[in-house]
Amino acid sequence: MARLPVTEAELVARYGPHLNQAPPGGWESEGEYDRIVDTHCCFCGQQCGIRLKVRDDEVTGFEPRYDFPFNEGKLCPKGVKRYLQGSHPDRLLTPMRRDESAPGGFRPIGWDEALDTVVGEIRRIQDRYGPDSFAMLSGVSLTNEKSYLIGKFARLALGTANLDYNGRYCMVSAGAGNKKALGIDRNPNPWSDIPLADVLWTAGTNIAETFPITTSYIWRARDRGARQIVQDPRVVPHARTADLYLPVRPGTDSALFGAVLHQLIRHDWLDHEFIEQHTNGFDEAAAAVADMTPAWASGITGVPAARIEQAAEWWGTAATGMLLHARGIEQQSKGTENVLAAINLGLATGKFGKPGCGVSTITGQGNGQGGREHGHKCDQLPGNRDITNPEHRAYIASVWGCDVDEIPGKGVPALAIIEAIHEGRIKGLLTICFNPVVSSPDTAFTREALSKLEFMSTIDFFLSETAAYADIVLAGSLHEEDEGTSTSGEGRIIKINAAVTPPGDARRDWEILLDIARRLGRGKYFDYAGTRDIFEELRVASAGGTADYSGATWERVEAEQGLFWPVTGDGHPGTPRLYEGGRFAFPDGRARFNAVPYRPPAEEVDDEYPIWLTTGRVVSQYLSGTQTRRIAALVAQYPEPLCEMHPRLADGLGIADGDLVTVSSRRGSITLPARVVATIRPDTVFIPYHWGGDRAANQLTNRVVDPTSSMPEFKVAAVNIRPAGGQAATVDERDLEISDAGAAIRTSGRREDRQ
């Protein structure tokens, strides 16, 4: 097997360490400020290093950090504009109470009234319907400290089993697959491995738009001559430079991976020594793909058989290689199976535990990695422990100083919480950092559910579409208004520093939770003077778990530019690459192959709904859009959702670029402009999901979930499309001006949104 010539040392010599140079005199020479605070971007899981300029307790500007080894002076369009939310006129400055007679449907109230109402309603509902009838939904834009706190708060202050989080819509299929096959829910590689891969396979990720800084690592591999394979129903920007493009039909990835394993076996492109010494279950996995020929897979996936064969040859014969995957293969009703099928390819060729090798998920949300380790999930306790395991429960009870029976059992996952609300089994809800009215599948259903609640409260800094359903809205904190740690998609624990204090009467999220706990009479379990105390407890709680942070201190994290967990004790160097030397996180040290038979997506196209729909992101918007839809410079880049479709499909329907089309599924319809592009499969349309109200893509999506991970099938639905008559109105310049002055642009978080 030929190794590409360029070495790691040559690569560093060629690129950096600091690829981009600051302007002469440094960024500090520009703009007015009285302090600069080193911290990280509040948006995606790459957690780029950023420096905030502060004047008079307000963020006035930013610069990228050159010293942070991940982004080395680079930022994407969202990171560049992130600080503009702080002084936005929509920023919530006080708690609010629903009041039909008030303008906008809410009136400002004081904290005592707000928190007494929340606590009174929690008590009333739990007394009447039982402790689990009050649920909590949370999110992982929050720090590790807040994630840990929320896990404890739900169990010991609310006393409910029903806590889950928005990572349920994001990382859980990857997590379940990694735990099952390799033993740890973390991506196995630091990104410094990417440039060392001789073949780079990206599956189900629009990496150039969603992880722009990671793309620069891919360019470094490409410049060494690494081969690039892209698997996506769309010719995403990164695919335009790929050596091999696999235009997979939505929902069929496990068939493609199965055929590749079939080929690896057929041509004996296998690492027999690795399979024998470091894995179990190869024979079962091989048996499952015995009939998965490239010709068979071609019929299912729509990818020409020759391309599948080529992908197998490149992957099978390269000395090093990485397969990077994200939500495209994970947000399916068989997301976990897709991940297991991808991992099989790494195990079969020995591509784990060494430089430039790995099958790695790319974590999405800012703290999407850390937030899934500290007990934020319905089945989990801190350190990635299992809430049903008696030993794990006993350990956490000892850290919390409570009776083990005080820790409730396993609750239900996010979508099941919404379904239980719809069925009337859950009556009360507290949400923080989650906007399910936009981000949950089947919007009409979500709205109906929230309308049935007897009481709902939301902690947010903007009146999100979800907050608009609340009875009491609690004004929480922005990222730069609090300190703590976060864990990037690489698995690197980093330090978030506070730059400013919350404005008006807004309060830090954790202070709000502590106050509620005290008012519920549970203050003794929440005796923290600051987030640092929470981190110190988190360290102890995580010790001995798979996600072990016990050796991480705030000082070390900052001084060492982050620490990769597990970091198991004082002085432990951290673990950038997992599974070194082929030792996996199981008692026998062996990874597990998994047999992955093919099964189709939950909903398939038919005469009535003949077109595949898939959903996702654009570079300028972030998630449910509450944050980025308020920044005019970002809105201007992509102001409203468009329906991407191939010219052949458009022609057949008599649709031209910019025409309004109505897209309908079994759940609902949306009318939006068509964007006719040749970069998508002709049988598939794509709609980004960052908008609410009648512009929400999730009006169309299906509530079916992956049986293992409970991930909804955001990436596959069947739809029909018809011309709606008329052209799309071009973006109204006045809207942008309004937004420059700060008002929300046609956000749908309005009172009338409530049904």
Q: Which residues bind ligand MGD (CB under 6 A)?
A: 44, 78, 139, 141-142, 166, 169-170, 203-207, 209-211, 231-234, 236, 248, 250-251, 253, 326-329, 331, 364-365, 432-436, 439, 459-462, 464, 476-477, 479, 509, 614-617, 619, 621-624, 626-627, 686, 689, 697-698, 701, 714-716
Q: CA–CA separation, 213 vs 216, rounded Å?
A: 6
Residue nearer to ligand SF4 on the CB measure, 44 or 520: 44
> Which residues, in sequence order, are bridge partners of residue 432?
459
**What are the distances in angstroms from CA 302 to CA 233, 305, 706?**
10, 9, 23
Binding span for ligand SF4 by CB under 6 A among 74-82, 239-247, 515-523, 711-719: 74-82
Rg (CA), the chain: 25
CB of 368 to ligand MGD, least distance (A): 6
Binding-site partner at residue 374 among Mo ion, ligand MGD, ligand SF4, none, CB < 5 to 8 Å by type: none
CB of 63 to ligand MGD, least distance (A): 21
CB of 481 to ligand SF4, least distance (A): 17
- Give the SS3 label for residue 100: coil
Query: Token pair 């794990």 is at which residue?
Result: 392
Q: CA–CA separation, 755 vs 751, rounded Å?
A: 9
CB of 436 to ligand MGD, least distance (A): 6
Binding-site partner at residue 41 among ligand MGD, Mo ion, ligand SF4, none, CB < 5 to 8 Å by type: ligand SF4
Binding-site partner at residue 442 among ligand SF4, Mo ion, ligand MGD, none, CB < 5 to 8 Å by type: none
CB of 685 to ligand MGD, least distance (A): 10
Binding-site partner at residue 63 among Mo ion, ligand SF4, ligand MGD, none, CB < 5 to 8 Å by type: none
- Helix H or strand E encompassing 134: strand 134-138
Q: Which residues bind Mo ion (CB under 5 A)?
A: 170, 364-365
Residue nearer to ligand MGD on the CB measure, 245 or 400: 245
Residue nearer to ligand MGD on the CB measure, 271 or 482: 482
- C-beta of residue 505 within 8 angstroms of C-beta of residue 131: no
In the stretch 170-209, what mask flags binding to ligand SF4 with x, by CB under 6 A? Answer: ----------------------------------------
Binding-site partner at residue 615 among ligand SF4, Mo ion, ligand MGD, none, CB < 5 to 8 Å by type: ligand MGD
Burial readout 447-459 (b: 16 or more C-beta within 10 A, e: otherwise): bebbeebbbbbbb
Torsion of CA 361, 366, 368, 373, to 10 degrees: 130
Q: CA–CA separation, 481 vs 557, rounded Å?
A: 19
Binding span for ligand SF4 by CB under 6 A among 71-79, 108-116, 292-300, 474-482: 71-79
Residue nearer to ligand MGD on the CB measure, 85 or 550: 85
Binding-site partner at residue 627 among ligand SF4, Mo ion, ligand MGD, none, CB < 5 to 8 Å by type: ligand MGD
Best CA proximity match to 75, nearest among 103, 106, 52, 107: 52
Residue nearer to ligand SF4 on the CB measure, 212 or 328: 212
Residue nearer to ligand MGD on the CB measure, 169 or 564: 169
CB of 150 to ligand SF4, least distance (A): 22
Binding-site partner at residue 47 among ligand MGD, ligand SF4, Mo ion, none, CB < 5 to 8 Å by type: ligand SF4
Q: List the structure tokens of 573.
A: 């160097």
CB of 440 to ligand SF4, least distance (A): 23
Q: List the structure tokens of 558.
A: 């900052």
CB of 614 to ligand MGD, least distance (A): 4
- C-beta of residue 699 within 8 angstroms of C-beta of residue 443: yes
Q: List the structure tokens of 228.
A: 């690039």
Best CA proximity match to 376, nearest among 368, 461, 492, 575: 368
CB of 86 to ligand MGD, least distance (A): 12
543 binding ligand SF4? (CB under 6 A): no
Query: Token pair 């089945």 is at which residue?
Result: 379
79 binding ligand SF4? (CB under 6 A): yes
CB of 243 to ligand MGD, least distance (A): 17
52 binding ligand SF4? (CB under 6 A): no
Residue nearer to Mo ion on the CB measure, 195 or 489: 489
| Count of other CB atoms within 10 angstroms of residue 403 | 8
Binding span for ligand SF4 by CB under 6 A among 37-45, 265-273, 587-595, 740-748: 37-45
Q: List the structure tokens of 702.
A: 């299906």
- C-beta of residue 523 within 8 angstroms of C-beta of residue 515: no
Best CA proximity match to 516, nearest among 433, 432, 592, 435: 432
Best CA proximity match to 688, nearest among 706, 711, 714, 722: 714
Binding-site partner at residue 329 among Mo ion, ligand MGD, ligand SF4, none, CB < 5 to 8 Å by type: ligand MGD
Binding-site partner at residue 720 among ligand SF4, Mo ion, ligand MGD, none, CB < 5 to 8 Å by type: none
- C-beta of residue 551 within 8 angstroms of C-beta of residue 569: yes
Q: CA–CA separation, 596 vs 675, rounded Å?
A: 36
Binding span for ligand SF4 by CB under 6 A among 72-80, 421-429, 533-541, 650-658: 72-80
Binding-site partner at residue 385 among ligand MGD, Mo ion, ligand SF4, none, CB < 5 to 8 Å by type: none
CB of 78 to ligand SF4, least distance (A): 4
CB of 240 to ligand MGD, least distance (A): 13
Binding span for ligand SF4 by CB under 6 A among 41-49, 330-338, 455-463, 682-690: 41-49
Q: CA–CA separation, 115 vs 2, rounded Å?
A: 66
Tell me the DSSP string of 145-208.
Answer: HHHHHHHHIIIIII--S-EEEGGGGTTHHHHHHHHHHTS-SS-S--GGGGGG-SEEEEES--HH
Binding-site partner at residue 387 among ligand MGD, Mo ion, ligand SF4, none, CB < 5 to 8 Å by type: none
CB of 203 to ligand MGD, least distance (A): 5
In the stretch 566-585, what mask flags binding to ligand SF4 with x, by CB under 6 A? Answer: --------------------
- C-beta of residue 377 within 8 angstroms of C-beta of residue 383: no
Best CA proximity match to 648, nearest among 606, 607, 679: 679
List the alpha helices (DSSP H) in 560-682. Answer: 632-635, 647-653
What DSSP state is assigned to residue 543? T
Q: CA–CA separation, 663 vs 670, rounded Å?
A: 5
CB of 265 to ligand MGD, least distance (A): 22
First to last CA, the chain: 63
| Count of other CB atoms within 10 angstroms of residue 728 | 18
Instruction: Name the amino acid, one letter, at 450.
Output: L
Binding span for ligand SF4 by CB under 6 A among 38-46, 135-143, 144-152, 460-468: 38-46
279 binding ligand SF4? (CB under 6 A): no
Q: In 3-state terms, the chain is what percent helix, strand and coil (to 5)?
A: 35, 20, 45
CB of 412 to ligand MGD, least distance (A): 18
Give ∠ CA 8-363-9 in degrees, rounded to 5: 5
- Give the SS3 label for residue 82: helix
Total residues in contact with ligand SF4, by rule CB under 6 A: 12
Residue in 76, 418, 541, 728 binding ligand SF4, rule: CB under 6 A? 76
Q: List the structure tokens of 380.
A: 């989990």
212 binding ligand SF4? (CB under 6 A): yes
Half-sphere exposure of 480 (CA within 13 A, CB side): 29
CB of 44 to ligand SF4, least distance (A): 3
CB of 152 to Mo ion, least distance (A): 24
Question: Which positions touch ligand SF4 (CB under 6 A)?
Answer: 41, 43-44, 46-48, 75-76, 78-79, 212-213
